[in-house]
Amino acid sequence: MASLKSQDILALSFMTFALFVGAGNIIFPPIIGLQAGPSVWVAALGFLVTAVGLPVMTIVALARVGGPMDALSGPIGRTAGGILAAACYLLVGPLFATPRTATASFEAGVAPLVGDTPLVLFIYTLLYFMVVLAVSLYPGRLLDTVGRFLAPLKILALTVLGVAAFLLPQGTVGDATPAYQAAPFAQGFINGYLTMDTLAALVFGIVIVNAIRSKGVDSLRLITRYAIIAGLFAGVGLALVYISLFRLGASSHEIAVGATNGAAVLHAYVQTVFGDVGSAFFAVLMFLACLVTAVGLTCACAEYFSKVLPISYRHLVFLLTGFGLLVSNLGLTKLIQLSEPVLGAIYPPCIVMVALSFCWKFWHAPGRAIAPAMAVALLFGGLHALHGAGLGAWLPGWLLTLPLAEQGLDWLLPVVLVLVIASVVDAILGRRQVAADGQPQA
């Protein structure tokens, strides 16, 4: 029975970590550290829950069912599961996450050196997506190209930046903004959504499993073990990166006055500490960090849609990179503004699906409990997203009085209540339902 060698497991772990560390992972922690002030570590704890804990839990959940997202969404039915999967793949693929990798690497690393104009942005994103296209056309080589070459370079660059953040702080901690003064943990928790890491984990699960299988491993038990090892390695790596970037942001109060996003904070710090050479180094860091994530997302999306649409993998890679090129030219600020309400709606049902996947054995028919819980999570997440998008005037006022509404967690208690009721109904109806492939039915 084939198994991975130690160096293959290490390369897989590096690849998994590198796939996750993209634009959002680098640009959001510094601005949170800057704005949270003395409450930075409370906010960091909330951020780590949604930006590290949930993605790792998702990788483990996917490994337990063999990798594909449709196996994880089995209890809610094929149609609903397919819609959810398509939405996740589109969001972390061509609609938001993949274009954001290009714009973030441009605005944080390249624009300060060559200027921020539409023409320069187009030229950069054109070259960027040409590289993404070239690497994504050969998914079977991901473990070698990403795990053995690009990922180590990316980790080395992040290590240098992280060590500098602790050894070379550039000032004292400033005052917290009103939002972080009122609820630092909740603010960190919600901002963890913006990394899209949980959605990315749902997408990357099959990429990680396919990378393992590309080395001849067929045993589900071994695939699960290797995926869990890689997921835990990536989680530890992400936590270390975030902690160093929180520290960097918190100590940059004096040099990043007026900064409105993490890219500005990072550039101010790097320019102050390392000068022009540092700015060039940071541009390379952002390019590597974002490129690896873009390749992983493109491969995953093309892999998925090639199975549900009559379009080949190679043609989809061309379509996805071309569409990503167009969307990326909207600019980073516009992309973040567009993504915030959408992520606020889609995250709650995905969190519920992943969390409850560990509890399937407690129900006779898991779909009876999981489907209504996810529906309620989607409903309340969508309503909160509408309020966040400035459409609150159209919503009933009682929504704003729900417990945890101010923290963006107003969906939590309704989900728990519906889950309890649905579990009672399931117990009354009884009779365990299992499909022919061993997965629970809706």
The rounded percent of the chain whose pLDDT value lies above 90 is: 17
* pLDDT band at residue 436 under the 50/70/90 scheme: very low
Which residues are within 8 A (CB) of 318 and not within 5 positions of it... i.e. 6 or more apart? Answer: 133
Segments making up each domain of the chain, as ranges = 6-332, 359-432
Q: Which residues pair with 440 in a beta bridge?
A: 434
What pLDDT, on a 0 to 100 scale, did the predictor assign at position 431?
66
Number of H helices, E strands in the chain: 20, 0
Neighbours of 397 (CB within 10 A): 8
What pLDDT, on a 0 to 100 scale, did the predictor assign at position 28?
86
pLDDT (mean) for 212-226:
82
What pLDDT, on a 0 to 100 scale, did the predictor assign at position 201?
84
pLDDT (mean) for 147-154:
67
- Give yes or no for residue 414 having a pLDDT over 50: yes
pLDDT (mean) for 150-173:
79
What pLDDT, on a 0 to 100 scale, did the predictor assign at position 397?
65
Neighbours of 191 (CB within 10 A): 23
Are residues 38 and 165 in contact, defined by beta-carbon separation less than 8 angstroms? no
DSSP labels, 340-397: HHHHHHHHHHHHHHHHHGGGGGGSSSHHHHHHHHHHHHHHHHHHHHHIIIIIGGGS-G
What pLDDT, on a 0 to 100 scale, did the predictor assign at position 399?
65
pLDDT of 318-373, one tens digit each? 999 999 999 988 877 777 777 777 887 888 899 999 999 888 888 988 889 999 99
pLDDT of 62-79, one tens digit each? 877 776 777 888 888 888
pTM exceeds 0.75: yes
Residues in the chain: 442
pLDDT of 280-289, one tens digit each? 877 877 787 7
Q: Mean pLDDT, the chain, as a whole number?
A: 82
Q: How far is CA 353 from the centre of its chain?
A: 16
Are residues 2 and 223 in contact, defined by beta-carbon separation less than 8 angstroms? no
What pLDDT, on a 0 to 100 scale, did the predictor assign at position 318?
94
Give the Cα separation of 58 and 204 in Å (integer). 10
Query: What's 6-332's CATH class?
Result: mainly alpha
